[in-house]
Structure 1
Amino acid sequence: MKTTMPFNLLKTRLSGLLVASLLLGACSRDGETNQTTASGSGNAGSATSITIKGSDTVLPLAQQQAERYMAKNPDASITVVGGGTGVGLAAMQEGTTDLAMASRGLKTEEKLKLKAAKIDVQEVLIAYDALSIIVHPNNKVNQLTREQLEGIFTGKIANWKEVGGADEKIVAYSRETSSGTYEFFKEHVMDKKNYANGILMMPATGSIVQSVSQTPGAIGYIGLAYETKQVKSLKVSYDQGKTFVAPSMEAAKDKSYPISRPLYFFYDATVAGRVKSFVDYILSAEGQKTVQETGYIPLG
């Protein structure tokens, strides 16, 4: 299923002094440069300010939720910045973000660091996501097994002819190590094996989409919500080639598509009073409707 993100023109009013507008499009999905600041028309003195940072997978969803929440709560101001799950969690530990977006759970070492910093971490499951394997549209290959994907990203399979394609070198793209998607793919698709040295690490999911769309021999992995007509998603088999399933919201919901994962917000309990209303909105029926409309899988 192809999903087109409904990014609207946001009008930003900060403290009644600054008015700026920005268009959230495909080009605004890349890492740290992708920042949304929105606030309503309420009095600056009563405004609630929330900062959200982290996973590029969660980023488009958080932007849409922030926009719609702002429309209902004119006294609030929300800033959303990408950069990767690791970046968001580090910012939470440093106290520079209220909510950390994550496309994976906390690692043991992260839990220990947060405990040492006396941070009472709260975890909120907000949605699910399917991970799409994408190639250039002209690639003849339409499906791959988990074992073949493991071989490609560990470097054991280097030519498309080895998996039924043309005699062409495989160019594999991955997220960088700070990304929760990088960690999830390594654990659940590569069976915890190491990436090949020649893998091209990209700073943001949007960069993978762009690179794969421009490189005939390319392959990469992205969140379902990032799919575009410029790339082709592959069917995947987790039963040694007996059954191949294409990524879609329906297949992720009924768990027939094997590469799906939970998405989270993490926050320090000390900011609960500031973020609770926004978190409750995301978990509400209206918020979960936005989850589905934005290309993710709702909780219910």
Structure 2
Amino acid sequence: MKKFILLSLIGMLGLSTMSFASRIIQVKGSDTIVNASQYIVEEYMVNHSNARIAVTGGGSGVGISSLINGTADIGMASRNIKEKEIQEAKKRGEKLNEVVIGFDGITVIVNKNNKLSNLSHETLGKIFRGEITNWKELGGEDGQIIVLSRDSSSGTHEFFKDHIVRDKNTMKTAEYGKGVLYMPSNEAIKQEVLSNKNAIGYIGMGYVDNKIKSLTVDNIAPTIKNVGNKRYPIAREIYWYVKETDNKTVNSLVKYALSPAGQEIVKSEGFVPVK
């Protein structure tokens, strides 16, 4: 009898745990906007204390795939959804809505001791394809260029490849060079550039600080104005992808992200608000 009661209690606890887990809204995806999204969620929950929301990174690909397979309610992304992802969602009977929550300028960074201050997008392409390998070829000091990129799960990796490595898809088969070092996060790239005078990498503008040197691209700086009007060559949207749902918390959270308060958070995290 005691054994039966114990098993019953364990079963009830399991059901209770499943029920609790099912009420947690999962926001997953882009590491570029994970901090901004976390801040938005924290501020949202100040006035929605009953909401349970978890925010985790992993990359844009992870966010969108998690949304499609049902392990996320919101997929954070720093790139557009791919056609194959749209089709996979359709196979599952899901329609995904694209929500632009802000704009980002992918910022090219070097060590503060690097003499260069500007590179053209064509030259950047040659560096990241491995066609230019020494800083002296660009008027800098003699030293092998250490090229840093985000890993392939990153939407920033994809966007930079399309717009710089493949020169806005005029070089559709071009890839990153063999010597490129792939890093797991914006912060990892920033720390490597900070410690290595020959390194070059790219990060979201929300991660830029005065410890590193930001380059202009085609003599255009990644400022709020230049990113907002898309004059900066590597400007892009940052997204939340959501399913069409009647979940009040998800819909309310998206609405908050686009509200003046939510957009102020986007701005405070170093990105350009849409409103």
Decide: shared fold, TM above 0.5: yes
Cα distance per residue 1:8-49 (max 9 Å; x no partner): xxxxxxxxxxxxxxxxxxxxxxxxxxxxxxxxxxxx99x963
Residue identity (%): 42
Q: How far apart, CA to CA, are the structure 2 residues paired with 1:292 and 1:197?
A: 36
2:146 alignment counterpart = 171
Structure 1: gaps of 5 or more residues: 1-43, 238-243
Instruction: Point out the structure with the larger helix share.
Output: 2
1:109 paired with 2:84, answer yes
Q: How far apart, CA to CA, are the structure 2 residues paired with 1:133 and 1:272?
A: 39
Check the 8 A contact 1:146/1:236 in 2, yes or no.
Answer: yes
1:209 paired with 2:190, answer yes
Q: How far apart, CA to CA, are the structure 1 residues paired with 2:184 and 2:108?
A: 17
Residue identity opposite 1:256 in structure 2: R
1:227 alignment counterpart = 208
Give the drift of 1:67. 1.2
Q: How far apart, CA to CA, are the structure 1 residues paired with 2:247 and 2:233?
A: 34
Q: How far apart, CA to CA, are the structure 2 residues paired with 1:272 and 1:179?
A: 28
Q: For the aligned residues, what is the CA RMSD? A: 1.7
1:263 alignment counterpart = 238
- Tell me the SS of whatever aligns to 1:82: strand
279-288 or 261-270: bigger deviation? 261-270
Q: How far apart, CA to CA, are the structure 1 residues paired with 2:161 and 2:246?
A: 33
Aligned to 1:154, which of 111, 126, 129? 129
Assess, with a 3 A threshold, how the Cα gap between structure 1 residues 113 and 48 changes in structure 2: closer, same or farther.
closer
Q: How far apart, CA to CA, are the structure 2 residues paired with 1:91 and 1:204?
A: 19
Cα distance per residue 1:94-149 (max 9 Å; x no partner): 21111000011111111111111222212111111111000011111111000110
Alignment of 1:239-254 (within 5 A): 244-254=219-229
Cα distance per residue 1:144-196 (max 9 Å; x no partner): 00011000000000001111211110000001111110110011122242111
Residue identity opposite 1:233 in structure 2: S
Instruction: Point out the structure with the larger strand share.
Output: 1
Aligned to 2:217, which of 219, 236, 258? 236
2:259 alignment counterpart = 284
Check the 8 A contact 2:51/2:249 in 1, yes or no.
Answer: no
Q: How far apart, CA to CA, are the structure 2 residues paired with 1:263 and 1:123?
A: 10
2:10 alignment counterpart = none
Check the 8 A contact 1:48/1:274 in 2, yes or no.
Answer: no
Larger radius of gyration: 2
Structure 2: gaps of 5 or more residues: 1-18
Residue identity opposite 1:262 in structure 2: E
2:4 alignment counterpart = none
- Count of matched residue pairs: 250
Give the drift of 1:294. 1.4
Check the 8 A contact 1:186/1:195 in 2, yes or no.
Answer: yes
Q: How far apart, CA to CA, are the structure 1 residues paired with 2:236 and 2:246?
A: 26
Q: How far apart, CA to CA, are the structure 1 residues paired with 2:177 and 2:231?
A: 29
Give the drift of 1:92. 1.1
Give the drift of 1:223. 0.3
Give the drift of 1:68. 0.9
Q: How far apart, CA to CA, are the structure 2 residues paired with 1:249 and 1:61?
A: 16
1:294 paired with 2:263, answer no
67-76 or 154-163: bigger deviation? 67-76
Give the drift of 1:272. 4.2
1:139 paired with 2:114, answer yes
Check the 8 A contact 2:226/2:232 in 1, yes or no.
Answer: yes
Check the 8 A contact 2:29/2:59 in 1, yes or no.
Answer: yes
- Scaled by the length of structure 2, the TM-score of the pair is 0.87
1:56 paired with 2:31, answer yes
2:6 alignment counterpart = none
2:43 alignment counterpart = 68
Cα distance per residue 1:35-69 (max 9 Å; x no partner): xxxxxxxxx99x96321100011111101101111
2:250 alignment counterpart = 275
- Tell me the SS of whatever aligns to 1:287: helix
Give the drift of 1:273. 3.2
Residue identity opposite 1:119 in structure 2: E
